[in-house]
Structure 1
Amino acid sequence: MSKERLTAFTDAILAIIMTILVLELEKPETADWASLWALRSHFFSYTISFFWLGAMWVNMHNHWHRIEKIDNKVIWWSIIMLFFASFFPYVTDFVSNHFTSLFAQMFYSVIVICVSLSNMALGRAVARANGSTSALDYSNRKIVAADLIIKAIGIVLAIFVYPPINMFAVILAGCVVTFLPHIVNRKNKKLGEIDAV
């Protein structure tokens, strides 16, 4: 299978998952602001899930344009990652209906962490298939560590303080994973320019 086919397959599945997210949004009982406000946990959960999946998609494309080949491990890790991602419409609806439930928030976290870990394994498989350890370099390990630490802190705060804090941790981790690589790349470019002088 070519890289382009796998990328197209992944794009299609993620697009379907993100479309199902919006189709699962509950409709207001009446056409007024009060009815929409009553569904705020649904809109909030949808927003977190949509942007988290979107950030993951952007990060994948930022890394995948540099790879040249894939192997069976890359294909299977992609399928495993998509399997866990396909639970997002279900778990988002579940957590929307039980927003302050610790169990619902932990279920959401389990899916997020499973997607994160399978995505990390996918990155390693891609690096090995291309005879490179670039996906495992120090800066990427720091980014993955920061992502998992933020999610772990969110779980602890959800257990001991307030369950929905978990979702704030998920979106914060998504922001870190999205923006920290750009900061690290800029820093590395500046260091490269200084070394070249």
Structure 2
Amino acid sequence: MRTGRLEAFSDGVLAIIITIMVLEFHVPAEPTWHGLAEVFPTFSSYLLSFIYVGIYWNNHHHLMQLSATVTGGILWANLHLLFWLSLIPFFTRWMDESGFAPVPVLVYGLNLLLAAVAFSILQYALLRREGPDSPLAAALGRNTKGRISPLIYVAGCALTFVHPLAGVAAYAGAAALWLIPNRRMEALVGSAGGSGGGAES
């Protein structure tokens, strides 16, 4: 099976995840700047989670564009990733409503860690399918960010025992790392798109 259906299904799930998160918003209790300030923690947690979902959507799209076909194992690896991503709205709300208490912030970080592991499994499954000399392998290279990020999540989880906001800062730092574009990936994705490779249109 080609990658088009898998990518379309994943796009739909990620869109639903973002929709669920924004539906958790409640308007300020009073129409003042003070009322707006009171919902700022909710907005902050939503923003961080939105950025993470966006990062996964962006990188998932790149993976699919550089892959020709998928196997049953790849489909299950993709579902495994979507499972952990689908929990982001739940843990975001828990973290926000607890006032960034240690346990919810810790569990939020564990969810990010497990999503990162699931994404690595998906990458590995695709690399096995595409081969070591494929455009996908060239685009991923050493995958430095993919190796560093889980360590940051572990550090962030540990920092929650010092102060929960220190853990949140670590998670935000990992997200900032992924906002830096991978020029090699973008160039190879553009090349694959121009040559008709990757997902079905």
TM bucket normalised to smaller: 0.7 to 0.9
Letter in 2 for 1:86: S
TM-score scaled by structure 1? 0.84
- Identity across matched positions, percent: 24
Q: Does 1:154 align with 2:156?
A: yes
Q: Is the 8 A contact 2:105 2:164 kept in 1?
A: yes
Question: 2:11 corresponds to which residue?
Answer: 11
Letter in 2 for 1:181: N
Question: 2:167 corresponds to which residue?
Answer: 166
Letter in 1 for 2:92: T
Alpha-carbon deviation of 1:183? Answer: 7.8
Q: Please list every run of at least 4 consecutive aligned residues from structure 1 whose deviation after the TM superposition is greater than 6 angstroms.
A: 183-186
Report matched runs for 1:25-174 at 5 Å.
Answer: 25-132=25-132, 135=137, 139-160=141-162, 162-174=163-175
Could you say if the C-alpha distance between residues 158 and 45 of structure 1 is closer, same or farther in structure 2, counting changes exceeding 3 Å? same
Could you say if the C-alpha distance between residues 138 and 59 of structure 1 is closer, same or farther in structure 2, counting changes exceeding 3 Å? closer
Question: Greater helix share, 1 or 2?
Answer: 1
Q: Is the 8 A contact 1:102 1:159 kept in 2?
A: yes
The gaps in structure 1 that reach 5 residues or longer are 187-197
Q: CA RMSD in A?
A: 2.3
Instruction: Give, in whole Å, the separation in 2 of the partners of 1:83 and 1:135.
Output: 25
Letter in 1 for 2:7: T
Alpha-carbon deviation of 1:180? Answer: 6.2
Secondary structure of 1:15's aligned partner: helix
Secondary structure of 2:99's aligned partner: coil
TM-score scaled by structure 2? 0.83
Alpha-carbon deviation of 1:14? Answer: 0.2
Instruction: Give, in whole Å, the separation in 2 of the partners of 1:141 and 1:110.
Output: 21
Instruction: Give, in whole Å, the separation in 1 of the partners of 2:184 and 2:171.
Output: 20
Alpha-carbon deviation of 1:181? Answer: 3.2
Q: Which has the higher contact order (CA 8 A, sep 6+)?
A: 2
Residue-pair matches, total:
185
Instruction: Give, in whole Å, the separation in 2 of the partners of 1:183 and 1:177.
Output: 14
Alpha-carbon deviation of 1:137? Answer: 8.8
Q: Is the 8 A contact 2:105 2:168 kept in 1?
A: yes
Could you say if the C-alpha distance between residues 119 and 164 of structure 1 is closer, same or farther in structure 2, counting changes exceeding 3 Å? same
Secondary structure of 1:69's aligned partner: coil
Could you say if the C-alpha distance between residues 12 and 2 of structure 1 is closer, same or farther in structure 2, counting changes exceeding 3 Å? same
